[in-house]
Structure 1
Amino acid sequence: MLITYGAALDTALHRHHAIQLVWAKGDSSCQWSGGHASGNLIIDSQVEHKLQLDEGWILLVEPQCELGINLTKMIADKEVVPFNHLLGAYLAEKPQDSPNEVLAPLLKALNISVAKDPQSTPTLDKRIQTLLTRLDLCLQGACQKPANWRASEVASELFMSESRFRHLFSTQMGIAWRPYLRWRRLSCAITAMMSGHTATESAHLTGFADSAHLSRTFRAMFGISIQQAKALFASL
C-alpha cells in the first residue's frame, strides 16, 4: 500500500494495478469511460481514469492484500464507487500523526482494517506468498535488479514449470507476472527517488534503460511525469 497526502496533479488518463482510495478534503473529480464522480471514492484496479484532487489522502492498495480484498467486496464489480455518506467532517489541518492513526476514521467508516500483514492473505498459494515476501525486500531498501526476476528463474526456484508459474500467478493475483513486476519496479523507483536518487539513478537501480523509459512507464501507470512525482514527494 502506498499512502500520500496532498493534491493530485492534473493527470492524463491512466490505469494501474492498485485499487485507489480517495479521501478528499477539498474538491475531487474522477473521470472514466463509465462516467464522472466526485468526493470520496474507491476506484477499482485496472480502471482507466483521470483524477483531480485539491487536497486529501490517496491510498494505492494491492488488490490481493487483506485491505484490497475488502475493498473489492465493497466495489461489487463497479468501476468507481463514491462513499461520501460514510464520513463526517474532514480534519481541519494537514495531519501530522502517523498515517495509520489519521486514517483510522476512514477505515472504521469503511469497516476495514490494515492491522494484519498485508501479504498474509489466506487465499494465496504459499509459494506466491513466499515470492511476494521476497519482493517486499525491494520496498525496504534491499532492491534487487529485475534481471533476477525472470519468470523462468522464479518458476525454477518455486519448483514449477514456467507455464505453471505464469498461470498460477495470474490466477492468484489477477494480473500477469510481467506487468505486476513492472508495477513493483515503479514502486522501487519511487522509493529510490524519495531516498534522494535522481530520476536517472532510480531508472538504473530499478532496471529501466534510462530516465526517459522510466518516465514513459510512470506516466502510463500514474498519469504524471517522473518530474511531477518528484515535486509531489518533495512537498510531503
Structure 2
Amino acid sequence: MAARAWRGTLAVEDFVAHWRGAVGDAAPHRHFAAQAVFSDAPVRIHYGDCRIAAGRCVLIEPGVAHRLEPVEAADIYFVEPTGRLSLPAVLRDRLAATEAPILSEPDVPGFWASGAAHSIAPPLDPRVARAAAAIDRRLHDGAVRLVDIAAEAGLSAGRFRHLFAAEIGIAFQRYVLWRRVGVAARRLAAGAGLTGAAHAAGFADAAHLARTMKAMFGITSGAAF
C-alpha cells in the first residue's frame, strides 16, 4: 500500500504549534508536548500497550507513546506543558465545547487531567526562568551544556538538574531538544531550507533534524514541511 502523506500547514508559536490538514502515516512516537487532536470524522489513536482510542477530540498527555491513524482532515495542537502560557482562545473554546478521552500512562505526569491546561501555573522559579532564557540564547551555537546553564542559574549541576526537572516537568537535555525542534520548525514554516533550519537550531545537519522530528512526531521534517 502506498504511503499516505501529510498535507497541510504547521503554524508554530513560542509555546504552541498547530497543524491543520491531512494526517498521513506516522511511526509510534512520544514527545514533551501535550497534544489535542480534533477531527470531523472520528480519529483512531494507538497508544500504550496495544490500546486504541477513538473520537472527534482526543487529548494526549506529554510523554505518552502513540500513533495516529491517517485521517483526511484534522486540527492538532501541540502545547508546551510548562505552565508559562494560557491556551489560545480558539483551543480553550473547542475544549470547552466537547468531552474528550485523555490518553495517559500511570507514571506520566498529567497536563490535561490535572486541569493545568485551563489555568495559569505559578511562575517558574526565577533561577529556572533564567536558565530557560539562557538555553534559548545558546541554541544556535550547538552544544548546550547543563553545567554552563547551571552556572547561569547560580546552582551546582546536581541541584540544578533536579530543580529544572521539577519545575519544567522534563529532563534538561530532553527540554533542550524540544526547544531546538521549535526553532527549526519556525524556520521551516518561514520558508527556510532543511539545512539552514537545522543549523539555526543547533542541529549538526539536516539528517540530525530529520531523525529528531521522526522520533518526536513520527514523521520527518521533510514530510511535515
Note whether the superposition's TM-score is higher than 0.5.
Answer: yes
> What is the alpha-carbon distance in structure 2 between the residues aligned to residue 101 and residue 172 of structure 1?
25
**Aligned to 1:38, which of 54, 59, 62?**
54
**Are 1:128 and 2:145 an aligned pair?**
no
Secondary structure class of the residue paired with 2:41: coil
**Identity of matched residues, %:** 34
Q: Answer whether contact 2:198 2:209 (CA < 8 A) is retained.
A: yes
Query: Which residue of 2 is the match for residue 198 of structure 1?
Result: 193
The alpha carbon displacement at 1:60 in A equals: 0.8
| Aligned-partner SS, 1:197 | coil
User: Are the aligned partners of 1:27 and 1:54 in contact in 2 as well (CA < 8 Å)?
Assistant: no
Higher strand fraction (1 or 2): 2
| Structure-to-structure mapping, 1:218-233, within 5 angstroms | 218-230=213-225
Report how far residue 129 of structure 1 moved. 2.7
Task: Report the residue type matching 1:195 in the other structure.
Answer: A
More deviation in 26-35 or 220-229? 26-35
Match of 2:166 in 1: 171
Q: CA RMSD in A?
A: 2.9
Partner of 2:68: 51
Report the AA paired with residue 58 of structure 1.
I
TM superposition shift of 1:188: 0.6
Secondary structure in 2 aligned to 1:60?
strand
Distance 2:59 2:198 in 1: 30
Q: CA deviation at 1:2?
A: 1.2
**1:126 maps to amino acid:** P
8 A Cα contact 1:8 1:55, kept in partner:
yes
Q: Report the alpha carbon displacement of residue 115 of structure 1 after superposing the two structures with TM.
A: 9.2
CA shift in 2, pair 1:27/1:49, >3 Å: same
Tell me which residue corresponds to 2:82: 64
Q: 1:114 Cα deviation (Å)?
A: 7.5
Amino acid aligned to 2:59: I
Contact 2:29 2:65 in 1 (8 A): yes
Q: Would you say 1:28 and 2:47 are equivalent positions?
A: no
Give the gaps of 5 or more residues in structure 1. 71-99, 231-236
TM-superposed CA distance for 1:152, in Å, is 1.3
Task: Give the residue type in structure 2 aligned to 1:4.
Answer: W
Structure 2: 5+ residue stretches without partners: 1-15, 100-114
Residues 26 and 219, structure 2, Cα contact 8 Å, conserved in 1: yes
Contact 1:2 1:61 in 2 (8 A): yes
Bigger share in helix: 1
CA distance in 2, matches of 1:180, 1:12: 21
The answer to whether the Cα contact below 8 Å between 2:140 and 2:199 also exists between their aligned partners in 1 is no
Equivalent position amino acid for 1:157 in 2: E
Number of paired residues?
192
